[in-house]
Amino acid sequence: MKKIIFILVLPALLPVVSGCKKFLTREPISFVSPANYYNNEEEVSKALAGVYDIVSAETQWGCRIPVRHNASTDESFFSYTSFPTGPFRYNYDVADAHVTELWKALYAGIERANTLLANLNKAAMDDSKKQVVRGQALFLRAFFYFTLVQYWGDVPLKLEPSSSVNNVDIARSPAKEVFEQIVADMKEAETLVQSATEVGISGIVSKSAVRGILARVYLTMAGFPLKDASKFKEARDWALKVKESGEHVLNPDYKQIFINHSADIEDYKECIWEAECYGTNNDAYREGGRIGNENGVNCRSTDFAQIGYAYGFNSTTRKLYFLYGPDDVRRDWAISTYSMNAAGVKTTLAATNIYGRNCAKWRREYEVLSPKNKNYTPANFPMLRYADVLLMLAESENEVNGPTPLAHEALNLVRNRAGLSDTAIAGKDDFRLEIRNERARELCFEGLRKPDLIRWGIFLQAMKETAEEFRAYATSSQMYAAVNAENVSERHLLYPIPLSETSLNKKIVQNPGW
């Protein structure tokens, strides 16, 4: 009896005592673990492309940052009424999808960069190439943090890959610390990456890109909320480095900059850094963006494969339209002079019809890939243009030394290209105002206006004036734009931390007013 019971119990214990370790070990077959990756140059370059991927994502500069997050300022409004909520209406809450996906994608990019940086040392590859990769990864991570700090203020600062699903709580670091990290990383990156000439294209981060963005970072630190005026000097120095490198010149033809974007031509001399979109999404990949589609001239084409389809989400304010002088070649390129019907036929808009004018910087007729996709375009988006660097140089030089010849030279380079003559503004304050207006004229619809207004500390005032403008000039069907601007309050200086973060991260604290 006992023997039999033993025989019966034995099989139950058998697997426990004998090692079926091997039988029960099944490693992934068709995907790899990060631990088994980053072994060579090929794998490292794929990982780096994965970090870049965030830059042109639809939730980022591939569409939403310029087209939706920056859509409603004093230079443009969101001219589509069917979305009742969103940042472009200043009607959103902690669960808003736009806000959430911006936050999500930036931290996904940071995680990708962190993992690459943490594993880079083990790769068997040429060390100089490794350092170039390291520089790009450091820069991109810092750039993602820069975006976060611009939109949210204090944010969690994570410099190592996530380690465990159970250890996920992380507190926010003060914006100042985040900025310090950004600056440190970018400065290091600047020593590692290649020069713009060596790189030769706009899609890869070069020394000029790092320097130009550093100027932008320092300008931001000099303004709201840190208001560290000592940083103007740093901004000036970095912008000046770009200019003095001699590697960059403005494209003599303003409109060609944007035609190049649509036509897949890269001109790193003007466009120092671009978010690259590719293909039409009709192909095997999904790397097209929405530049020229959401923010193109409204054209609900039935034959979009030939003509292209566009929603016209972004339209000009009167302020922007009338900032341009009559000789300024930029106005009638940046802002449409026509409407389009479903067949793609253009009709000139009445001179009085200002609010009916869409952003027209990127026009689908210049795309070279055929057939066109209804919603996705191959157009790149400019992350940093030389014109922006020159205006940052003029702005910071003015803040540090007043409207010196250097400041004037930088400003006038931009003006001259637009067909305007040199300015002769003497006062520092006047020069400051001129730069602010020039930035709108030159860089409108490029996703820079809202952060600019905020760092200048004039965002609330500017939106109040915009509301008044719409109250005064808009038709009843456009009056919602006034409501949008009127919605703006103190709390809109910063986005709310998304609900998906606050509900799962015990250590996070919400922004004031949300």
State which of positions 3-42 bind other proteins (CB under 8 A).
Answer: 4-5, 7-16, 20, 23-35, 37
Among 383, 367, 374, which Cα is nearest to 278's?
367
Choose, by CB under 8 A, the member of 188, 228, 266, 465 that binds other proteins: 266
Our finding on whether 345 is near other proteins (CB under 8 A) is no
Kindly tell me which of 45 and 437 has the beta carbon lying closer to other proteins.
45
Kindly tell me which of 453 and 494 has the beta carbon lying closer to other proteins.
494
- Is the link from the previous residue into 225 a cis peptide, with omega within 30 of 0? yes
Our finding on whether 53 is near other proteins (CB under 8 A) is yes
Decide: 154 and 173 in contact? Cβ < 8 Å: yes
Q: What's the rounded Cα separation, in Å, for the pair 236 and 233?
A: 5
- Please state, as a whole number, how many other Cβ atoms lie within 10 Å of the Cβ of residue 414: 26
φ, ψ at 133 (rounded to 5°) = -60, -45
Kindly tell me which of 109 and 223 has the beta carbon lying closer to other proteins.
109
Site for other proteins in 282-341 (CB under 8 A): 282-287, 300-302, 304-305, 309
In sign, the C-alpha dihedral spanning 322, 324, 327, 331 is negative
Decide: 384 and 446 in contact? Cβ < 8 Å: no
Q: What's the rounded Cα separation, in Å, for the pair 470 and 472?
A: 5
Choose, by CB under 8 A, the member of 59, 70, 206, 281 that binds other proteins: 281
Q: Taking the complex as a whole, how short is the minimal distance between the CB of residue 393 and other proteins, in angstroms?
A: 27
Q: Which amino acid is at 39?
A: N
How many chain residues are in contact with other proteins, going by CB under 8 A?
Answer: 99
Measure the CA angle with vertex 238, ends 128 and 50; round to 5°.
45
Of the ranges 68-76, 270-278, 437-445, 454-462, which one interacts with other proteins (CB under 8 A)?
270-278
Of the ranges 125-133, 231-239, 366-374, 458-466, which one interacts with other proteins (CB under 8 A)?
366-374
Choose, by CB under 8 A, the member of 63, 110, 213, 435 that binds other proteins: 110
Choose, by CB under 8 A, the member of 61, 77, 88, 103 that binds other proteins: 103
Site for other proteins in 438-467 (CB under 8 A): none
Decide: 137 and 207 in contact? Cβ < 8 Å: no
Choose, by CB under 8 A, the member of 221, 448, 485, 508 that binds other proteins: 508
Our finding on whether 111 is near other proteins (CB under 8 A) is yes
- Strand-pairing partners, residue 384, are 273
Site for other proteins in 168-207 (CB under 8 A): 168-170, 201-204
Q: Where are the alpha helices (DSSP H) in 223-364?
A: 231-244, 254-262, 304-307, 318-323, 331-334
Q: Which amino acid is at 436?
A: R
- Please state, as a whole number, how many other Cβ atoms lie within 10 Å of the Cβ of residue 170: 16
Q: What's the rounded Cα separation, in Å, for the pair 419 and 433?
A: 20
* Residue that has been written with the tokens 């008044």 in this structure: 468
Q: Taking the complex as a whole, how short is the minimal distance between the CB of residue 37 and other proteins, in angstroms?
A: 5
Our finding on whether 495 is near other proteins (CB under 8 A) is no
Choose, by CB under 8 A, the member of 264, 332, 365, 465 that binds other proteins: 264
Our finding on whether 2 is near other proteins (CB under 8 A) is no
Our finding on whether 370 is near other proteins (CB under 8 A) is no
Q: Taking the complex as a whole, how short is the minimal distance between the CB of residue 391 and other proteins, in angstroms?
A: 26
Q: What's the rounded Cα separation, in Å, for the pair 312 and 306?
A: 18
Q: Taking the complex as a whole, how short is the minimal distance between the CB of residue 201 and other proteins, in angstroms?
A: 4
- Site map 151..170 versus other proteins, x via CB under 8 A: -----x-x--xx-xxx-xxx
Query: Which contacts of 173-177 are long-range, i.e. CB under 8 A and separated by 24 or more positions?
Result: 175/149, 175/225, 175/226, 176/226
Kindly tell me which of 178 and 222 has the beta carbon lying closer to other proteins.
178
